[in-house]
Structure 1
Amino acid sequence: MVTFILIRHGESTDNLHSVWAGWKDAPLSNHGMKQAEALGDFFSDTDFAAIHTSDLKRAYLTAQAILDCQESKETVHLLPSPLLREQHFGVAEGKPYSRSRPDVVSSDLYAQGIYPSPRNRDESFPGGESRSDLRRRAEQAVDEILLPYVWHSAREGNPGVRVALISHGLFIKELIAAFVARDAQGETTDLYYKGLRNTAWARMTVEVQAPGRRKKTVLDDHHPLKVRLTDFDRKDHLKNVVRQQGGIGSSAHDPHQKDIRSFFAGAS
């Protein structure tokens, strides 16, 4: 069995505004960095075999904060991939959300710089992805990134593999749905997998349904799977994380800037 911890990135500067933030590469806010550091501390006793992440800054920096707290961080691989990016919103990237206007065709709204939510899973902003496109990309990530851990774990008789994946809210929703759809019994969870707070996480277990309990099993990639979503929107690590006042918490995090407290303490 493999346990996947699916994590939404820390608060970005775009999360503080009502804009379409997909591939637009906004940094973490200072508060978002605090969230990521608290998350890393929370998972410091969890030995991850690997940490996969979207290559966008807000996810990558969150993943780095987790890696920094791993006891065996020298042997844990941090693996960025564009497959794990958020939905691409095309011409709407960075533009404000707008109210839906069912009486006006979408192309006319876009021509006016108005970008309401697409009306169905197959509609997209020009140059962007639809929700159906996002599902197909999530399925590709399942096949190319996640399932290899499941097959290897089953073949080697290693039931304790844990893998972290840091991504984005809409992508994680589609990834969970894509994985749950692989369950051999067609079982779903009562947990409603929509809406993750920044750095909140979900836990999913996946195992191969193979006969016998031998240490090593001869398998092909067509054996049935048992997929279970056991936790969703967990945010225990955030209970002591407080936003800095005076706009500091909402400012973009600069990893090269010295903490002012260190400066006044005379740190070199």
Structure 2
Amino acid sequence: MSQESNSALTNHGVLQAARLGAHLAATGVKVSHIFSSDLQRAANTAEAIRVAQSPTPQAVVQLHLLREQDFGFYEGKTFSQRPRDPSGRDAHLDAHRNDPGFRDVESKEFMMARVDAFVDVHLLPLFAVVRDEHSIVVVAHGIILNYLWRNILKRFPTANVAVAASADRGLSLDYIGVWSNTGVLDLEVKMRPGVIPVQEKPTYGPPLEVPPTLSSAEAGPPELSQQYTGLSSSATISAPVSRPMLPHMLLAVKAVNNLEHLNGLKKTRGGIGSLKHDPTQKTMESFFKKRTD
């Protein structure tokens, strides 16, 4: 189960992140901006990408908006421990909603409102200023990344979206966003030739109820409090009635779940690769490194 819990990268996860950063740098991907979830496994992966770049881009922007779905009461439990049918979930909610510490699962509407906030405030403004040779990197988690992909897709007219033959899985574009660990969805966004962009602003509907797991500070991150009208000091977030569209831009899907950077990487046997990474642990190279002093 994907979780919002703040678990660290495993030893194998650290190797995967380092491979990804090195691969992007080696293949000429020039990163200008990096956003990540503020959970450490995503933030550490983003930092591995950043430090592999030359020159090193500005610091990673860590956002609560990009966290994985909050599973509430079911956080950390297996799927077999969750009611599978809607009636079972409703019955479970009714039976436990008044229990101390009980939290329901974060709704689809709230997750979509979160990615709306990210796209409107952080991503769209960069589309107009980031040069064609530079890339924007977003590092997050499986479920919320699917919502983010569908949100981005809906901003483009169908005629403005193309899929490379190597990325075409014969599926609906709404559902191509599938990721393995450090898998890459590679998108290219360009201005249509000869078109003058028109800056749209979103309009918002009534506030959505904030999940109990979010404090007012978390529901309205400081970096959004003065910029995004959908977040208020009373810890509410609003779903947009209309989203800014991008008829003046083209979207190309170049790769889906690209794992080229993991070629030849095998997980260490004996469960070592699955252990939480300890940055203070010495490597084999450190034991045999020749002293220079």
Give TM-score, length-normalised by structure 2: 0.69
Residue 233 (1) aligns with residue 261 (2): no
- The number of equivalent residue pairs is 229
Q: Is the 8 A contact 2:93 2:104 kept in 1?
A: no
**Corresponding residue number in structure 2 for 1:140:** 117
In structure 1, which of residues 220, 231, 237 is the aligned counterpart of residue 199 of structure 2?
A: 220
Percent identity, aligned pairs only, is 29
Q: 1:267 to 1:201 in 2, by over 3 A?
A: farther
- Per the TM alignment, residue 80 of structure 1 is displaced from its structure 2 partner at its CA by 1.0
Q: Is the 8 A contact 2:83 2:89 kept in 1?
A: no
**Corresponding residue number in structure 2 for 1:247:** 271
Q: CA separation in 1, counterparts of 2:194 and 2:280?
A: 54
Q: CA separation in 1, counterparts of 2:158 and 2:178?
A: 26
- Per the TM alignment, residue 133 of structure 1 is displaced from its structure 2 partner at its CA by 2.0
Q: CA separation in 2, counterparts of 1:107 and 1:68?
A: 46
- Per the TM alignment, residue 64 of structure 1 is displaced from its structure 2 partner at its CA by 1.2
**Corresponding residue number in structure 2 for 1:46:** 29
- Per the TM alignment, residue 186 of structure 1 is displaced from its structure 2 partner at its CA by 5.6
Q: How does 1:1-268 map to 2 (within 5 A)?
A: 20-44=1-25, 45-73=28-56, 75-98=57-80, 101-102=84-85, 105-109=88-92, 126-153=103-130, 158-185=131-158, 190-191=168-169, 192-209=175-192, 211=194, 219-221=198-200, 224=247, 225-263=249-287
Q: Which amino acid aligns with 2:43?
A: Y
- Per the TM alignment, residue 103 of structure 1 is displaced from its structure 2 partner at its CA by 8.5
Q: Is the 8 A contact 1:204 1:231 kept in 2?
A: yes
Q: Which amino acid aligns with 2:114?
A: R
List runs of 5+ in structure 1 lacking aligned partners.
1-19, 114-124
- Per the TM alignment, residue 63 of structure 1 is displaced from its structure 2 partner at its CA by 0.8
Higher mean C-alpha deviation, range 177-186 or range 50-59: 177-186
Q: Is the 8 A contact 1:52 1:164 kept in 2?
A: yes
**RMSD across aligned C-alpha pairs, in angstroms?**
2.8
Q: 1:134 to 1:53 in 2, by over 3 A?
A: same
Q: Is the 8 A contact 1:179 1:227 kept in 2?
A: no
Give TM-score, length-normalised by structure 1: 0.75
Q: CA separation in 1, counterparts of 2:141 and 2:283?
A: 28
SS across alignment from 1:246: helix
SS across alignment from 1:22: coil
- Per the TM alignment, residue 178 of structure 1 is displaced from its structure 2 partner at its CA by 0.6
Q: Which amino acid aligns with 2:58?
A: V
Q: CA separation in 1, counterparts of 2:284 and 2:189?
A: 45
Q: 1:68 to 1:127 in 2, by over 3 A?
A: same
CA offset digits 1:198-247 (Å, max 9, x no partner): 001011122344635xxxx6753466232232211100111111111121
The structure in which a higher percent of residues are helix is 2
Q: Answer 1 or 2: higher relative contact order, Cα 8 Å, separation at least 6.
A: 1
